[in-house]
Structure 1
Amino acid sequence: MYGWQVVEPGPDVRQALRRVAMPAPRPAPGELLLAVDACGVCRTDLHVAAGELPVHRPRVVPGHEIVGHVLETGSDVTGYAPGDRVGVAWLRHTCGECRYCRSGAENLCPASRYTGWDADGGYAGCAVVPAAFAYRLPDGYRDEELAPLLCAGIIGYRALRRADLPPGGRLGVYGFGASAHLAAQIALAGGARVHVLTRSAAARELALELGAHSAGEAYDAPPEPLDAAILFAPVGDLVPVALRALDRGGTLAVAGIYLSDIPSLDYDRDLFQERTLRSVTANTRADGRDLLAVAARHRLHVRVTAYPMAQAADALADLAADRVNGAAVLLPENSPAR
């Protein structure tokens, strides 16, 4: 099979990736072998390729928003059969024994491992996943619509929970890409007033199309104080901007795995009056199941830009240059969606 590997991590993502012939993986005990039917292109893939995250697996195949169908099951696997459609997300292993795993916070497990960083991901014809970390997928969505739900959707959902948005509250969304446009829809479905702040004119247009109450430039003040905010853009300079937009007692959740340096905070202006700043770290499997259940109940509009798998480097470069409105998704060349 053919797949893309990160061979030279660096700022030029086209140079970082190389398409190579490689043997198809085999499922180990407890694993599923999948044919990749769609793979989302996530900003975390960009951080891996650009060298903004440390190398965990040399020449790793990126991609952790995988929709596929089972080709083969490893020994000791029950509940799955060839042909089943399943999803693969970022988190792929935890120890199950540490105090974080035992308390329901497996995303903080020190032994956690991740698809497309510690193990090969979905920028290829096939992928393997531990069956315990695979997801059943809701009906009513095409493969390319489901793929972004498996990280962008899950992380947006967790970030929304971490932001402690009250019922009917006022939410600020900073940056409006794949994750944000899904989290905003979930908040709107819950009755929130959503204000989007982003530098992209096309993203602001999409935000209003999806029902946002306002859409402004990234550094603008929203039209009303916020009860909660989520920072999706990996821009540390926006942290004090978002904190100052919060009402008393508000919470800012930072959703990314990578963030440029945060400038000095002014305690009185940025944090006083019990404003809270929180990070978001990966996801638990419960987050994934909960998000997919939400997607089954509320039909989410997933804005997708499809690329053939052979153009993965182009897709990643377009993401780096903010030329993708919504979510980029890779499809095998023989996909009926092409």
Structure 2
Amino acid sequence: MTAIRAYAAPSAGAPLEPFEYDPGPLGADQVEIRVESSGLCHSDVSMINDEWGLAQFPLVAGHEVVGTVVEAGANVTDVRVGQRVGLGWFSHACHHCDPCLSGDHNLCRSRGHTIVGRHGGFADRVRAQSTWVFPLPDGIDAISAGPLFCGGITVFNPLIQSGVKPTDRVGVVGIGGLGHLALQFLRAWGCEVTAFTSTGAKADEARRLGAHHVVDSRDPEALDAIAGTLDFLLVTVNVSLDWNRYLDTLAPRGTFHIVGAIPEPLDMEAFKVFFEQRRVTGSPVGSPHTTKLMLDFCARHGIKPQTEVFPMSRLNDAIAHLEAGKARYRVVLEADFA
């Protein structure tokens, strides 16, 4: 078995360095992908820094992978060798628990993650259960497709799970790696879209990406002016804000939906929830079925992330670029192993 070449963090917060490992025999339900590119997500950086206490070192991150299937296990029938595919946050499901049998493999009780307890896509090859490996439809740009498999499905999944309607008025809090994709999805979905951003320079860009309205999230008066108008509020940020004021933007029976990894407990007044019969919900990345729906939707409407490309050999530079807040809006790493 040929060793897999990768870039790994030897310890929490350490610069990534070349690393090789023996993957062992290919599982009967697995495929091996030759990596062409991998998106660099904030979740990769959180894992490298062990912010969530889930990392095992040396850690090979990378969970927004695009590449070609080079080997398939004996029981694999859903993808074939030679297909260009994508792989995201999840890499395994049991297929026999109640969530799996209901089609909610992303809620599997024993689900596996691409970079938790195993090595991910900052490598020349990566493996995963074929359930979580998705052929790219025609019309999907291969070099920028990787971020769809984490950032994209994270903001598309709520549209399906919460039954967002084309007639809904929807707000998106945070116009970054997640939010800039959410604006595109929601505009194509038919919604009236409001973008909330603290960066004035992003206002015109938010409109170009799909927002009908832009609200300065630092201005309490601007937030108060739209109180009671939104049916759905999608929160993509990973910092704490004045959540009660954002709750007030929702109409009766409106939904406050979280997809950002906010580290602190949410400070919300119960009265603001139950007097208006509002809902506070959240979701992870989507099931295999929802991911396929997303890919078809992206191909149909020409939706793709705005990307900056680095060679994978400059991974540490790319991480510094992301941590400095300079990425607009997703960083993609092209594999350049000799």
Report the TM-score, using the length of structure 2 for normalisation. Answer: 0.89
Matched, 1:318 2:321: yes
Deviates more, 1:55-64 or 1:225-234: 55-64
Give 1:285 deviation, angstroms.
1.0
CA offsets 1:65-113 (integer angstroms, 9 cap, x no match)? 1000122223333354432101111111112222222223322222111
Give 1:293 deviation, angstroms.
1.4
RMSD: 2.3
Contact persistence 1:24–1:126 (CA under 8 A) = no
Contact persistence 2:63–2:114 (CA under 8 A) = yes
Q: In the aligned structure 2, how far is the partner of 1:273 from the partner of 1:242?
A: 13
Report the TM-score, using the length of structure 1 for normalisation. Answer: 0.89
Contact persistence 2:99–2:108 (CA under 8 A) = yes
The residue type paired with residue 229 of structure 1 is: L
Which structure 1 segments of 5+ residues have no match? Answer: 10-14
Q: In the aligned structure 2, how far is the partner of 1:89 from the partner of 1:54?
A: 20
Matched, 1:241 2:245: yes
The residue type paired with residue 173 of structure 2 is: Y
Pick from 290, 293, 303: which aligns with 2:293?
Answer: 290
Contact persistence 2:243–2:267 (CA under 8 A) = no
Contact persistence 1:30–1:131 (CA under 8 A) = yes
SS at match of 1:178: coil
Deviates more, 1:120-129 or 1:153-162: 153-162
Q: In structure 1, what is the equivalent of residue 166 of structure 2?
A: 167
Write out aligned runs for 1:291-310 (5 A): 291-310=294-313
CA offsets 1:175-215 (integer angstroms, 9 cap, x no match)? 11222222221211122111111223444332111231122
Q: In the aligned structure 1, how far is the partner of 2:276 from the partner of 2:84?
A: 48
SS at match of 1:55: coil
Matched, 1:329 2:332: yes
Deviates more, 1:138-147 or 1:48-57: 48-57
Q: In the aligned structure 1, how far is the partner of 2:8 from the partner of 2:326?
A: 22
Q: In structure 2, what is the equivalent of residue 250 of structure 1?
A: 254
Q: In structure 2, what is the equivalent of residue 12 of structure 1?
A: none
Quick one: percent identity of the two aligned structures? 28
Give 1:238 deviation, angstroms.
4.7
Q: In structure 1, what is the equivalent of residue 19 of structure 2?
A: 21
The residue type paired with residue 255 of structure 1 is: V
* Shift in alpha-carbon separation, 1:204–1:299, aligned structure 2, 3 A: same
Deviates more, 1:62-71 or 1:177-186: 177-186
Give 1:125 deviation, angstroms.
1.3
Which structure 2 segments of 5+ residues have no match? Answer: none
SS at match of 2:145: helix
Matched, 1:103 2:131: no
Q: In the aligned structure 2, how far is the partner of 1:38 from the partner of 1:45?
A: 15
* Shift in alpha-carbon separation, 1:8–1:217, aligned structure 2, 3 A: farther
Q: In the aligned structure 2, how far is the partner of 1:213 from the partner of 1:133?
A: 35
Give 1:268 deviation, angstroms.
2.7
Q: In the aligned structure 1, how far is the partner of 2:242 from the partner of 2:315?
A: 29
Q: In structure 2, what is the equivalent of residue 180 of structure 1?
A: 179
Q: In the aligned structure 2, how far is the partner of 1:287 from the partner of 1:238?
A: 32
Give 1:264 deviation, angstroms.
3.0
Aligned residue pairs: how many?
329
Q: In the aligned structure 2, how far is the partner of 1:45 from the partner of 1:151?
A: 11
Contact persistence 2:30–2:129 (CA under 8 A) = yes
The residue type paired with residue 232 of structure 2 is: A
* Shift in alpha-carbon separation, 1:238–1:88, aligned structure 2, 3 A: farther
SS at match of 1:22: strand
Q: In the aligned structure 2, how far is the partner of 1:283 from the partner of 1:80?
A: 19
Write out aligned runs for 1:126-205 (5 A): 126-205=125-204
Q: In structure 2, what is the equivalent of residue 59 of structure 1?
A: 58
Give 1:286 deviation, angstroms.
1.3
Deviates more, 1:61-70 or 1:208-217: 208-217
Matched, 1:273 2:251: no
Deviates more, 1:262-271 or 1:290-299: 262-271
Give 1:261 deviation, angstroms.
1.1
